[in-house]
Amino acid sequence: MTSVVTANAVIPPSGDPRRPLKWVRSELILWRVVPNGVLMLGPGDAAPVLVSGAGAVVWALLERPIGEAALIDAVADELAVETEVVKVEVRGFIADLRCRGFAVQVP
């Protein structure tokens, strides 16, 4: 069965504030775009998870390294809402992706 990623965790501050790290997809993750989102499977996962809605937008943006602030702006742009509306969601989602090994930080 496919489960749905839900994340409310808040990302802890990390890295050098003068040179903030960027987020990018982990190359180890297997994934496919499907009609209602993105299916993802990590190397040790028992089954794929389905990421939908804003999560699928974030995943598309993580194709290339992107800083957190830029990511939040881009998601807000894509969904045509205020940055404040998506900030917590995006941070939580990124934290979840990091926990699962789906996204990594690069300089």
Return phi, psi of residue 105, to 5°: -100, 140
Name the segment binding another protein (CB under 8 A); options: 35-43, 59-67, 72-80, 92-100: 35-43
CB atoms within 10 A of CB 107: 9
Q: In this chain, which stretch among 11-19, 45-53, 64-72, 80-88 interacts with another protein, using CB under 8 A? A: 45-53
> Is 56 among the residues that bind another protein (CB under 8 A)?
no
- Footprint of another protein on this chain (CB under 8 A)? 2, 26-36, 39-41, 43, 45, 47-48, 50
